[in-house]
């Protein structure tokens, strides 16, 4: 177990370095300098700007300067917002994005597992068809449509919930969290239904029934451990997806999180901000994937044998 | 049992699956509408009538007009061309890369396999949405680049599926017989391996199309995908959201069109999977 952990971490580190380096050099390929969109400035000012942001140094020097900064969590200054550093913006935006992703994940897991397990137990009844139809809806109605529709209904027509913001009005966290979580609730419902159906047909469940265990403890103690494995391995990609979804949700609801910073940076061509957040997001996603793979190993003895 | 009867069985099962058939017919209708958009559409997608501005659905403009007085129905029809094109072309790109990668890895096995699949594992763990955004920022918002970028992201699962299939086939007698006869690698892939894994490939390709369309719409919604005056459904939804308070129809109709299309593609893909591989149909 420890071996696997060490090996996975040893793979993750070079991957991260490659990602960071590729991003760094890709950004340099981008047409135009970071200050092009501003007013025309004199060559002297341009030179000073370049010097201030260390852009006049040879490329390899810039690269090593940048990388040694990244190791200690310094992503350099923002090109677009003078006087603010990229790290500072990451640290202000991150807690909000994490909070949003956390609520969304809770909604997704609770709703998804409950309806998926129920659907598997009541196979081919209304309690199977109805939640699965809703789940199909959740997969086919994208976040960027779901959000505005919820705003239109609950925010504008019924006027029961705020239409935007985060932590400013009571209840303003509800719509963004539901918007972001719904699609994942749908995926989790489908995965847990499939996994449970497979497990419920196996011999050890029949044995448990024959022993006279209550249906409740058969489901919770025996079937769910194996039946929910697909959900556990989905957690890594789901968290990656939630971060991507936060771009849209934070834009729709005007939430000052990392996702919106990223989209704004992409629009403004704030290269250092894009570079910093890309490296940061990659590190987080690699980390969460690692975590969900390890969780699967812990839960599934058979997967451990194959290593 | 010979090969054709497997396919005949599959077609029979597919036709019996009502949801899948409705899905398939919907897609066909959409494709026809998209191809003939310039002849069917009542107006050009860029024709502006600033006098009427945003008007609710009426006899002249069945689905209403946007703020610039452009006919929404026409824009939806033209948008169908771009959205569907992205779906099919990017899936095609993913198909070519994924299938070749999977066949080579699965067939040669050993060190080649483990290096190739380790690369897939590593790529799997990366935040691709961010990379596509990065590419769009760096190289400009070019539609062909968008196809390539999305396709380059979606091939990973295909490679895994194909590899698993090929490993299953590799040890069967007919492949070994062909090896003994000295068939070259290329014609082995083309004549013996590929025809036997067409089923799973078709299923997965059908299910990739809606994912690709979602990705494109996601980017266009953020303003990083298709640029005006061209419009994909994602762009239309974006404009719809901006003006949904006064002009609800600008959000509802594009949203509905997009959702129905995704539904149709998913139902058809699920039906195809059930038809070709009855074992996995409980998912």
Start-to-end CA distance of chain A, whole Å, equals 10
Number of H-type helices and E-type strands within chain B: 12, 0
Which chain B residues are Cβ-neighbours of A269 within 8 angstroms?
Answer: 137
Shortest alpha-carbon distance between residue A187 and chain B (Å) = 12
pLDDT at B247: 84
The H or E element spanning position A218 is none
Cis peptide before A149 (omega within 30 of 0): no
Q: At A89, is the secondary structure helix, strand, or coil? A: helix
Start-to-end CA distance of chain B, whole Å, equals 26
What contacts 24+ positions apart, CB below 8 Å, involve B116-124? Answer: B116/B159, B117/B159, B117/B160, B117/B163, B120/B156, B120/B159, B120/B160, B122/A11, B122/A15, B123/B156, B124/A289, B124/B156
Residue at token pair 């483990």: B114
Strand stretches in chain A, DSSP E? none
CB contact under 8 A, A240 and B127: yes
pLDDT at B282: 40
pLDDT at B153: 82
Shortest alpha-carbon distance between residue A209 and chain B (Å) = 22
Cα separation, B262 vs B271, whole angstroms = 14
pLDDT at A305: 56
Radius of gyration of chain A (CA): 24
pLDDT at A97: 92
Residues 116-145 of B with CB under 8 A from A: 122, 124-127, 129-131, 133-140
pLDDT in tens, chain B (283 residues): 455 566 787 888 888 888 889 999 999 999 999 999 888 888 777 777 777 777 777 777 777 787 777 888 888 898 899 899 989 999 999 999 999 999 999 888 889 988 898 888 778 767 777 778 877 777 776 778 888 888 888 898 889 889 988 888 888 888 888 888 888 888 888 888 888 888 888 888 888 898 889 888 888 888 887 777 778 888 888 888 888 878 888 888 899 999 999 989 988 988 888 887 655 544 4
Cα separation, B275 vs B13, whole angstroms = 5
pLDDT at B98: 93
Helices (H), A33-85: 43-52, 59-71
Which chain A residues are Cβ-neighbours of B241 within 8 angstroms?
Answer: 144, 148, 252
Q: Which residue of chain A is at minimal alpha-carbon distance from B240? A: A148
Q: Which residues of chain A have pLDDT under 50?
A: 307
pLDDT in tens, B172-231: 888 888 888 888 888 888 888 888 888 888 888 888 898 889 888 888 888 887 777 778
Rounded to an integer, what is the distance from CA B178 to the centroid of its chain? 35
pLDDT at A33: 58
pLDDT at B9: 79
CB contact under 8 A, B266 and A248: no
Contact between A144 and A223 (Cβ < 8 Å): no
Cα separation, B45 vs A147, whole angstroms = 27
CB contact under 8 A, A136 and B266: yes
pTM metric for this prediction: 0.82
* Count of CB pairs separated by less than 8 Å, A with B: 111
Contact between A13 and A245 (Cβ < 8 Å): no
Cα separation, A21 vs A66, whole angstroms = 10
Which chain A residues are Cβ-neighbours of B248 within 8 angstroms?
Answer: 152
Q: At A85, is the secondary structure helix, strand, or coil? A: strand
Supply the DSSP string of B38-98, one letter for each residue: HHH-SS-TT---TTT-S--S-SSSTT-B-TT--BHHHHHHHHHHHHHHHHHHHHHHHHHHH
pLDDT at B148: 82
For A27, the closest of B138, B240, B266 (CB atoms) is B138
**Residues B23-51, buried b or exposed e (16+ Cβ, 10 A)?**
bbebbeebeebbeebeeebebebeebeee
């Amino acid at each position: 177990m420890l071996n696997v952990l060490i090996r996975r971490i040893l793979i993750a580190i070079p991957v991260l370095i490659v990602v960071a380096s590729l991003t760094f050099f890709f950004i340099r390929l981008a047409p135009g300098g970071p200050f092009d969109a501003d007013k025309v400035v004199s060559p002297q000012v341009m030179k000073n700007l370049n010097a201030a942001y260390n852009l006049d140094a040879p490329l390899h020097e810039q690269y090593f300067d940048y990388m040694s900064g990244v190791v200690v969590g310094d992503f350099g200054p923002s090109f677009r917002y003078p006087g603010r550093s990229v790290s500072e913006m990451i640290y202000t935006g991150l807690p909000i994005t994490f909070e949003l992703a956390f609520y969304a994940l809770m909604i997704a897991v609770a709703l998804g597992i409950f309806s998926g397990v129920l659907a598997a137990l009541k196979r081919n009844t209304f309690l199977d068809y109805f939640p699965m139809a809703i789940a199909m809806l959740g997969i086919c109605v994208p976040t960027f449509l779901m959000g505005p529709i919820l705003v239109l209904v609950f925010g504008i027509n019924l006027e029961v919930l705020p239409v935007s913001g985060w932590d400013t009005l009571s209840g303003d966290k509800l719509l963004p969290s539901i918007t972001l979580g719904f699609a994942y609730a749908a995926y989790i419902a489908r995965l847990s239904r499939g996994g449970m159906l497979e497990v419920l047909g196996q011999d050890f469940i029949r044995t448990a029934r024959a022993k006279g265990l209550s249906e409740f403890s058969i489901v919770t103690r025996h079937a769910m451990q194996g039946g929910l494995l697909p959900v556990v391995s989905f957690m890594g990609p789901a968290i990656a997806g939630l971060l991507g979804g936060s771009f849209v949700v934070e834009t729709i609801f005007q939430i000052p999180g990392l996702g919106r910073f990223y989209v704004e940076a992409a629009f403004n061509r704030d290269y250092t901000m894009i570079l910093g957040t890309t490296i940061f997001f990659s590190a987080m996603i690699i980390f969460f994937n690692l975590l969900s793979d390890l969780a699967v190993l812990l839960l599934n003895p058979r997967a451990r044998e194959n290593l | 049992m010979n090969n054709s009867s497997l396919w005949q069985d599959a077609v029979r099962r597919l036709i019996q699956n009502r949801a899948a058939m409705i899905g398939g017919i919907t897609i066909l209708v959409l494709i026809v509408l998209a191809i003939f958009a310039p002849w069917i559409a009542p107006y050009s997608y860029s024709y502006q009538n600033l006098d009427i501005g945003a008007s609710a659905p009426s006899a002249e403009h069945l689905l209403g007009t946007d703020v610039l007085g452009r006919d929404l129905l026409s824009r939806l029809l033209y948008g169908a061309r771009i959205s569907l094109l992205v779906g099919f072309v990017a899936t095609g790109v993913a198909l070519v890369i994924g299938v070749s990668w999977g066949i080579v890895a699965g067939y040669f096995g050993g060190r080649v396999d483990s290096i190739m699949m380790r690369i897939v594992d590593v790529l799997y763990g990366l935040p691709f949405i961010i990379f596509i955004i990065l590419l769009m920022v760096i190289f400009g918002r070019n539609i062909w680049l968008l196809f390539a970028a999305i396709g380059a992201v979606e091939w990973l699962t295909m490679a895994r599926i194909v590899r698993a299939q090929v490993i299953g086939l590799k040890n069967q007698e007919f492949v070994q017989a062909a090896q003994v006869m000295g068939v070259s690698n290329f014609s082995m892939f083309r004549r013996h391996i590929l025809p036997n894994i067409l089923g799973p490939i078709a299923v997965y390709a059908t299910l990739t199309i809606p994912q690709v369309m979602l990705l494109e719409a996601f980017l266009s919604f953020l303003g990083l995908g298709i640029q005006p005056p061209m419009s994909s459904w994602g762009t239309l939804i974006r404009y719809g959201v901006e003006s949904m308070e006064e002009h609800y129809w600008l959000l509802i109709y594009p949203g509905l069109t997009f959702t129905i299309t995704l539904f149709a593609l998913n139902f058809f893909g699920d039906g195809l999977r059930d038809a070709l591989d009855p074992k996995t149909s409980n998912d």
